[in-house]
Every structure is written in structure tokens, then in C-alpha cells.
Chain A
């Protein structure tokens, strides 16, 4: 069975500082890992994904994530946070076929001006 964990309900960071939103996973086989962002009263938007290849993946809006197989982690990072980055972030694991996506519980990112 797949599972994705986001240990922090909320992360607060000052504008301009680096940010990290944590995610760990437990999946069988090769993981397909994704990060999505949700703004208030909106659906989810795709940020980035790891399928294979380089462990550091870059995505939209300056975000990146590092896949760490030994620590089973896929933390989301950004070198310099913006107030507009404040949103709800979901880590997710996809699988092939018609199987469902497994979402983490979400982390609310608050960037303080």
C-alpha cells in the first residue's frame, strides 16, 4: 500500500528566506512523486514531479524538490520565499493504471512579509 506523509500542518517563513516543506513516502516499486499547490477556494495546480533521473527536480514558480531514496523523502524547496507563495501544498504519489493518487495531508505555507 502507498502512503505519503507531510509531518507539518503549517510552515511559517519570512519573505526572502529559504523554505522547505517536508514529505516522506512509502510506496512499493519505483515511486512517482508529485507536488501540487492549492490556493483558497481553488483546485490543485501541478508544481513538479519526480519520475526517474536526476534527484533534484525543478518546477513552476521557482520551486524545486529533492528525491532522496535512502530517506524516502521528497521535500519541496525554494531559495527565497514570496508572500504570494502562501498556500496549501500537497505531496502525492501516483501509480499506473487506474489506481488512485495518494495525497499527503497538506501543509499550509505562510510567508510573512
Chain B
């Protein structure tokens, strides 16, 4: 089955640090990737939709300059949390959709998430 690898799984760093999270589709090409944020005991909040070779589409209320997304290839999207602060601490999850999934009738493939803790 389709596998999405998300790295790192856990990050602990000081306030003011920038953190990069990678999301890779291992055995398929992902034209579209999604980045979510999940707070404890809450649902997933879509942050942005990342399309290969073009600018990401951010959801309302998500700071573009804070959460930089790059989707430079069909197998890799990165999320960089710039100058992270404690309020950015959260569980970040990426998902990917392959070409067949563009019709909406195929499941998304999720990474295992990144637990970000800012001290």
C-alpha cells in the first residue's frame, strides 16, 4: 500500500528556533499534499494544501510567513515552522494524495505525525 513517511517524529527545541518537517511519499507520486495541525483531544485542522510546483494554499487564519511550505517534487513536501514559540507546540500531520486520488474516491495517505514541543 501507499506509504507516507514523515520526519522527524518528535522535536523538542528552544523558542525562536526554526523547525523543518518533511513529508515523503515513498511508493507513489503525490501531486497534492496536505498539512494538518491537531490539538489534544481535537480534530485535525487543515493548515494548507501543497501542490507540486506551485504555491501552497493556506487556510484562513494560518500565517504564511510562519508556516512555510515547499513542495518541490512529486514525493516531498516540507513544512517549516519559523521562529517557533511555545504556542506552536502541537502535533503536525501530513497527508498525500496520488494521481488516482484526485477524483476524491480514494483515501488519503497519512504520515505518522510530528510532535513539536517548543520550550
Contact = CB atoms under 8 A, between A and B. Distances in A.
A87 B46 CA distance: 21
A43 B6 CA distance: 9
A106 B42 contact: yes
Nearest to A50: B105
A10 B113 CA distance: 22
Contact of A43 (B46, B51, B103, B110): B110
Contacts of B42: 105-106
A113 interface: no
B49 A34 contact: no
B103 A96 contact: yes
B66 to A, nearest CB: 20
Residues of B in contact with A, size category: 20 to 34
A93 to B, nearest CB: 9
Contact of A100 (B6, B46, B51): B46
- 9 smallest beta-carbon distances between A and B, as pairs: A43-B110, A46-B107, A96-B104, A94-B104, A44-B110, A105-B43, A51-B105, A43-B112, A32-B104
Given A36-B110, A105-B43, A106-B43, 18 more contacts: A32-B105, A41-B115, A43-B110, A43-B111, A43-B113, A44-B108, A44-B110, A45-B110, A49-B107, A51-B105, A94-B108, A98-B49, A98-B51, A98-B57, A100-B34, A100-B49, A103-B44, A106-B42
